[in-house]
A = this chain, B = another copy of it.
Amino acid sequence: MLTIEPAEMQHLVETLGAIGEQPGGGIIRHVYDAAWSAARRQLMAWMQEAGLVVREDAVGNLFGRIEGDSPRTILTGSHVDTVILGGRYDGALGVLSALAALRALKRSGARPRKSLEMVALCEEEDSRFHGNFWGTRAMLGLVRQEELDDLTDLDGVTIGEAMRQAGFAPENYPSAIRDDLDAFIELHIEQGRILYDEHQPLGVVDAITGFYRFRVTVEGRTDHAGTTPMDLRRDALQAAVEFSSEMTRIVSEAGRPAVVTNGWWDVQPGAWNIVPGHVEFSVDFRHTNEATKQRLAAEIRARGEAIAKERGVGIAYDLAGDILPMDMDAHVKAELQAAAEACRVPWKPMVSGAGHDSQIMATKVPTGMLFVPSADGRSHSAAEFTTPEDAARGATVLVAALQRLAY
C-alpha cells in the first residue's frame, strides 16, 4: 500500500497557499490573473519534477499524465482558483492530493493498465466571471462560442480578452474537449461540519445537491406603527416572517439532506415607527433528489401563497435558479469505498450540499467524490483548515482508488 504522509500534504498546502495570499490573510486567485498563473507554474514544476507528462489545454486546465497501456484515462483533481479572500483548501486540496497520489504512483514504477492524469481545473468559483464551471465545461464541449465575449469581469474585461492576456488563444476552446475519460475523482474539503463534528476522517459522496432558488416579494401596506391597531394591519414583514418560519419547518421536517436558507432580507421602508409595506427575501433550497426537491419546492410555494391570502398581502416569486441534483457513479463510488476499507480509513456516505465541478463532469463521465473534514465546517474563508493527518488519509485513499481503477 502506498501511503501519503501528513508532512508532504502540509508542505504542498503551505507552498501553494502562499500564492495569491493577501497581506491581511485570505487568498485571491482568480482565473487568468497573475496569482493563478503563478500557482499553475508551481504545479507544473512539481509535476515535471515528478516525471509526469505536463500539458495545458486551450482554456487553461493543467494536466500531469502517467501513460498506461490504454489511452483511456482515469482523471483526478479539482480547481485551482479561489473565491475572494478564500482559504488554502477549497479546490487546492483536491489538486494537491492528485499530485501527491500521481507522484507516489509514478515513484512506484509500475505501468498502469489505463492512463492516469491529474488536473488543476482553471475555474470553478465564479468569482471573476460567471464562468459557471468554465474549465470542466470546456472539457465536456459545453462552452458556447458567444460566452467568450459575453462573460465579463467587474472591469468589463471579457473572458476571451482575459484568456489572451494570460497567453491562451480563446478561439481554440473546442480543442479542450476530452472523449478519453473513463472516470473522474475529485477530493474536496467537506465545507460543512458533519465529518468534523462526528470525528470522521472521510466521506464518500452519494450525490451532489440540486438547487431551487427564488426571491420572495411581499407587498403589504405601510402604516403608522402607533395608530394602526394590530387587527387592521397588512404587515408585509409579519407575512414574510411566517413564510420564512413555515418553509424552515417544512424543510426541517423533511430531514437531511434538505436545507433551506433565507440569507438576504430587504425590509422597506425600514423605519422603527412604520409598519413595513414591502419585504423581499431570498430562498436557497437544496435537495439531492430531484423529485423530492420539486415536491418540497411546490409545497413551499403553495404555503407562501396561502399565508399571503390569509393575511391579505401580495406575494410574488422570482426564480433565480433550478439546478438538477447529480448522483455519483455507482461503480466509481464502490471503488472509493473499497479503497477506504483497504486503507482502514473509516468513511461515511455523504451528500454534497455545495456545488462542485464533479456535478458537471458527472453528466458525461463516471464520477466520484471524496470529502475530508473541514475544521469547524469553515469554508470560503482564510480560516479554512484540514489537519495534515486528515489530508494525508484522504490522499492515501485516493491513491488506492486510482490503483483499483487504473492498474
Contacts and interface: CB of A to CB of B under 8 A. Distances in A.
8 contacts: A193-B228, A225-B259, A230-B259, A261-B275, A263-B275, A264-B271, A265-B265, A265-B267
Nearest to A350: B227
A223 B231 CA distance: 37
A232 B193 CA distance: 8
Given A241-B241, A245-B241, A256-B231, A226 B273 contact: no
Interface string A232-251: 10010110011011001001
Contact of A229 (B194, B213, B352): B194
A218 to B, nearest CB: 13
A377 B223 contact: yes
Contacts of A379: 224, 227
Nearest to A254: B230
Contacts of A192: 223-224, 226-229
A209 interface: yes
Contact of A228 (B248, B252, B353): B353
Q: How many copies are assembled?
A: 2
Closest 3 CB pairs of A and B: A192-B227, A226-B353, A225-B261
A162 to B, nearest CB: 25
Given A225-B353, A226-B259, 16 more contacts: A191-B224, A191-B226, A191-B227, A192-B228, A230-B252, A230-B260, A231-B256, A235-B248, A235-B261, A238-B245, A238-B262, A241-B248, A263-B269, A265-B265, A265-B270, A272-B282
Contacts of A293: none
Interface of A: 190-194, 197, 209, 213, 223-232, 235, 237-238, 241-242, 244-245, 248, 251-252, 256-265, 267, 269-276, 282, 284, 286, 320, 352-355, 377, 379-380
A354 B226 contact: yes
B227 A353 contact: yes
B262 A227 contact: no
A259 B228 contact: yes
Given A197-B232, A232-B197, A241-B244, A225 B191 contact: no
Contacts of A264: 267, 270-272
Given A238-B244, A284-B272, A354 B259 contact: no
Contact of A245 (B242, B256, B275): B242
A331 B227 CA distance: 25
Given A352-B227, A353-B228, A237 B256 contact: no
